[in-house]
Copies of this chain bind each other. A is one copy, B any other.
Amino acid sequence: MLTILNQTGQQQKLNKYKEYGSKNVLKPMDSEQLREYGHRMVDFIADYYKTIETFPVRSQPGYLHNLLPDSAPDHPETLEQVLDDVKVKILPGVTHWQSPSFFAYYPSNSSVAGFLGEMLSTGLNVIGFSWVASPAATELEIIVLDWLAKLLNLPEQFLSKGKGGGVIQGSASEAILVVMIAARDKVLRTAGKNALGKLVVYSSDQTHSALQKACQIAGIHPENWRVLKADTSTNYALRPELLQEAVSRDLEAGLIPFFLCGNVGTTSSTAVDPLAALGKIAKVDTSFSNEMWFHVDAAYAGNACICPEYRQYIDGVETADSFNMNAYKGLLTNFDCSLLWVKDQYAVTEAFSANPEYLKNKASEANLVVDYKDWQIALSRRFRSLKLWMVLRLYGAETLKSYIRNHIKLAKVFEQLVSQDPNFEVITPRIFSLVCFRIVPIDNDEKKCNSRNLELLEAVNSSGKLFISHTALSGKMVLRFSIGAPLTEQKHVKEAWKVIQEEASYLLGK
């Protein structure tokens, strides 16, 4: 009897192995394998979210090259082997941006709808460089960018029906580079290409480093980057007088002011520049009868501006030539998804279009369609509008507004907790869902205070219980508590504050 059982067991094992063996030959593409493996991956990822709070938020140092072989395998491994390695070797090295206790930088939203949209886009895997390469990819992008423009109540000129329109870029850095090149080439068509050394860029010193990178790539001479000082007197917003002075000086010196970057929600402290006043200066004719290109970087705070009560922060956007916000920073759309609107699409396409024979087609040549390849740096592009469209439909605008308001409400809670503790102070008034704070200096010793705050940063992050980041404001080291992960609730904010307080007590007691 035992023998029989054993034989049967053996046979079953063999059958299973056989079945497994044949099933296990993964074809390049096969709908049933995609189904089977896809379901397993969905479960793996759902389990990740289920247990996400058990991971240290910031991971531990470099180790991976000791754990992985130094060349690719010649023959297939199984999904089990790979997923085991993900668990054991990859996840410990992941900083968990989706953890409810991730409060660093600005958020990278991942949502159910965004995830589904990204899956669908990956499944279709089209490359929509030209309209003809996948018309729905281009058309849906136009439509969804119009939807968002309306939610933001952007001026009509940014909508697709006239000369304007929106486009999805990978990130705010690409957006800013694209419009800077468009602006540069527009000026140089009049001023001559040897005038490059005369072009001047303006922004506050709170502007994201993406502007500096764009200047480097565009070849703007470093001595022509006007980085105007902003300070506490305006809560780090750019003062229009400073801009006016700089522009006047440059005009007198025979230089060409050509690009102004205004900020709505700076990276350090969510400062908001006075757009209307800045735009007025940008739009005065210079000697080259060339107005400056006015770009508004609202990468983070632009998300909040879909709520009527926050819309005021982009008042004056009607004077801008371009406007940018990152939907992945607050609108539940998985990274990457950076929305750029321009008033004059032809300024962009004139700078970026290239039409080799192998891309020519009837629709493009008849000028009947938009070819987004001419609105960006790269030729090829993914079908990114799908995820934004699915987010908008599966949640609806009102849900998105509540989502943003909730984060701002949580930030208020944190702000209050900080204010109530005499060891701490809030630096700059909180506007959106970022709180800038620090341990207060003792005996006015700012230097020691700075190092103490950096020590606190390290201590808090090393705990693995939360992850925050820092910045510098007027020479002060400041801690940034940025709320925006989809899973964050009030309890996470309160727990985080408790850890910060405990680590601070320990530091201050030393």
Contact = CB atoms under 8 A, between A and B. Distances in A.
A175 B486 CA distance: 34
A431 interface: no
Interface stretch (A2-10, A244-252, A372-380): A372-380
Contact of A127 (B71, B97, B140): B97
A229 B31 CA distance: 46
Interface string A212-233: 1100111101000000000000
Interface stretch (A309-317, A390-398, A410-418): A390-398
Given A26-B113, A62-B368, A177-B377, 14 more contacts: A31-B46, A32-B46, A34-B49, A34-B112, A38-B112, A59-B136, A62-B369, A72-B393, A81-B393, A94-B134, A105-B358, A114-B122, A209-B354, A362-B458
A120 B45 contact: yes
A111 B360 CA distance: 29
A451 interface: no
Interface stretch (A193-201, A255-263, A490-498): A193-201
A39 interface: yes
B124 A98 contact: yes
A355 interface: yes
Determine chain A's interface SS by DSSP, over half rule.
helix
Given A62-B368, A135-B61, A217-B377, A29 B49 contact: yes
A335 B49 contact: no
Interface string A475-488: 00000100000110
A1 interface: no
A170 interface: yes
A389 to B, nearest CB: 8
A507 interface: no
Nearest to A362: B458
A371 interface: no
Interface in A95-132: 95-98, 105, 108-116, 118-120, 122-127, 131-132
Contacts of A235: none
A332 B34 CA distance: 14
Closest 8 CB pairs of A and B: A93-B136, A38-B42, A35-B46, A45-B123, A64-B139, A28-B486, A110-B125, A31-B49
A47 to B, nearest CB: 7
A171 interface: yes
Contact of A42 (B42, B49, B139, B212): B42
B136 A64 contact: yes
A14 interface: no
Interface stretch (A285-293, A340-348, A464-472): A464-472
Interface in A136-152: 136-137, 139-140, 142-143, 146-148, 150-151
B73 A173 contact: no
A267 interface: yes
A445 interface: no
A268 B458 CA distance: 54
8 contacts: A26-B394, A44-B120, A60-B135, A72-B392, A97-B127, A173-B380, A193-B219, A357-B471
A70 B146 contact: yes
B334 A398 contact: no
B38 A77 contact: no
A395 B148 contact: no
B267 A358 contact: yes
A43 interface: yes
B196 A34 contact: no
A384 B31 CA distance: 23
Contacts of A392: 72-73
Contacts of A487: 28-29
Contact of A59 (B74, B135, B196, B212): B135
Contacts of A277: none
A352 interface: yes
